[in-house]
């Protein structure tokens, strides 16, 4: 029998869009209002409620949100921001956009976020802020890191771009820090296609971010009156309409991802060469991606090749930021500087994951992974 698995690969990620999204997008298209309209306002109101914040300011991407948070907090030339090397590159690049510099500290193996003791050990007076990241949707040690920031007088930018819907100590991720940021790329918990948001409880900070995203216009968005350097970081009305529909369906989308998590746990649990994602007792996690960790004796690249031959895509997630070619050439980083990040990053593997993934596809992924790994152990 011909093996047609390569012709029908399992999707690595898949946005869950339906009739409600189509209905609201159609409303926008017939309204004639494609920017700065009522759906953007409703989307922001719903986001603020979900994330337990006073303000949500929608924007064109999570990267744009991070950039505006850095700028709105007055971080600039000569400043440093404590952050993690185990993240998507935007969480470090946003600091560079304003002439400041990321100050990497190592992570802890449980949450994969900044180790609080590492952050507390930073003594340089040029540090102005800390930017922790909730990796894959699981909370970092945000409560302890908030205490460090308070003790040092640092601002905090909470990178919640991967963490909408997750909670710690019955508090929503995105509700910590002077500002927090969400992202809505197609593989996120909800999507707007492209899009993001800045969350804050500060009226002043919210006004500043609204101005920054809209070409630096004043508080009333007066046409052709620009009071500061700004950007075109607005979220369009079509994207906002999709976001409203996705938030209406949030519990449904969460339930779909939870179903897939449970299916993976049943198919892959108890293997001594594999560590599945875990949560602490005071956490509830809505996973953004499903990342497992292989035994260090297993050649991950060979596993990835094997899975690909079975029609199962996978990705190493993340590659350490300090070892990216740009950061090595610009700042002289080298292997060995952040050993926990490097050790963990060499073992992580993102498996196919979305709220639409079938139990059959989960079984297919699990069978291929077990076959790939056991050929080496």
pLDDT for 150 equals 96
What residues does each domain of the chain span? 19-248, 250-374
pLDDT for 224 equals 81
pLDDT for 114 equals 98
> Whose CA is closest to 192, among 184, 181, 203?
184
Chain position carrying tokens 């956009």 = 97
- What is the CATH code of the structural domain delimited by 250-374? 3.90.1150.10
- What is the CATH code of the structural domain delimited by 19-248? 3.40.640.10
pLDDT tens column, 81-138: 999 999 999 999 999 999 999 999 999 999 999 999 999 999 888 999 999 999 999 9
pLDDT tens column, 297-333: 999 999 999 999 999 999 999 999 999 999 999 999 9
pLDDT for 125 equals 83
Three-class SS string for the chain? CCCCHHHCCCCCCCCCCCHHHHHHHHHHHHHCCCECCHHHHHHHHHHHHHCCCCEEEEECCHHHHHHHHHHHCCCCCCCEEEECCCCCCHHHHHHHCCCCEEEECCECCCCCCECHHHHHCCCCCCEEEEECECHHHCCCCHHHHHHHHHHHCCEEEEECCCCCCCEECCEECCCCCCEEEEECCCCCCCCCCCCEEEEECCHHHHHHHHHHHECCECCCCCCCCECCCCCECCCEHHHHHHHHHHHHCHHHHHHHHHHHHHHHHHHHCCCCCEECCCCCCCEECCCCCEEEEECCCCCHHHHHHHHHHCCCCCECCCCCHHHCHHHHHHHCCCCCCCHHHHHHHCCEEEECCCCCCCHHHHHHHHHHHHHHHHCCC
Is 34 a residue whose pLDDT tops 90?
A: yes
d(CA 201, CA 192): 23
pLDDT tens column, 51-90: 999 999 999 999 999 999 999 999 999 999 999 999 999 9
Question: What's the whole-number average pLDDT of the chain?
Answer: 95
**Where does the pLDDT of residue 29 fall: very low under 50, low under 70, confident under 90, or very high at 90 and above?**
very high
């Amino acid at each position: 029998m011909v093996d047609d698995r390569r012709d029908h690969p399992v999707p690595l990620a898949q946005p869950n869009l339906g009739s409600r999204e189509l209905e609201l997008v159609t409303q926008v298209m017939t309204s004639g209002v494609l920017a700065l309209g009522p759906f953007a306002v409703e989307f922001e109101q719903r986001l603020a409620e979900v994330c337990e914040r006073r303000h949500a300011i929608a924007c064109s991407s999570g990267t744009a949100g991070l950039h505006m948070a850095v700028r709105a907090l007055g971080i600039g030339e000569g400043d440093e921001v404590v952050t993690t090397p185990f993240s998507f590159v935007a969480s470090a690049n946003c600091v560079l956009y304003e002439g400041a510099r990321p100050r990497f500290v190592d992570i802890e193996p449980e949450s994969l976020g900044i180790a609080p003791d590492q952050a507390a050990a930073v003594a340089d007076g040029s540090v102005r802020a800390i930017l922790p990241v909730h990796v894959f949707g699981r909370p970092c040690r945000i409560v302890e890191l908030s205490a460090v920031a308070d003790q040092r007088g640092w601002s905090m930018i909470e990178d919640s771009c991967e963490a909408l819907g997750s909670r710690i100590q019955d508090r929503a991720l995105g509700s910590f820090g002077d500002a927090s940021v969400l992202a809505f790329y197609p593989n996120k918990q909800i999507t707007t296609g492209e899009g993001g948001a800045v969350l804050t409880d500060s009226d002043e900070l919210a006004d500043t971010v609204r101005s920054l995203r809209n070409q630096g216009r004043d508080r009333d968005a007066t046409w052709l009156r620009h009071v500061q350097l700004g950007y075109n970081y607005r979220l369009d009305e079509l994207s906002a309409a999709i976001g409203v529909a996705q938030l209406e369906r949030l519990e449904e989308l969460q339930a779909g991802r939870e179903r897939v998590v449970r299916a993976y746990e049943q198919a892959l649990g108890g293997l001594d060469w594999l560590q599945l994602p875990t949560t602490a007792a005071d956490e509830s996690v809505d996973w953004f991606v499903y990342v497992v960790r292989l035994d260090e004796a297993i050649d991950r690249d060979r596993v990835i090749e094997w899975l690909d031959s079975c029609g199962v895509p996978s990705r190493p997630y993340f590659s350490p930021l300090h070892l990216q070619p740009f950061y090595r050439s610009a700042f002289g980083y080298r292997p060995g500087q952040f050993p926990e990040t490097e050790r963990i990053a060499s073992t992580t593997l993102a498996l196919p994951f979305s709220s639409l993934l079938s139990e059959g596809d989960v079984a297919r992924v699990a069978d291929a992974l077990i076959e790939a790994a056991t050929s080496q152990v």
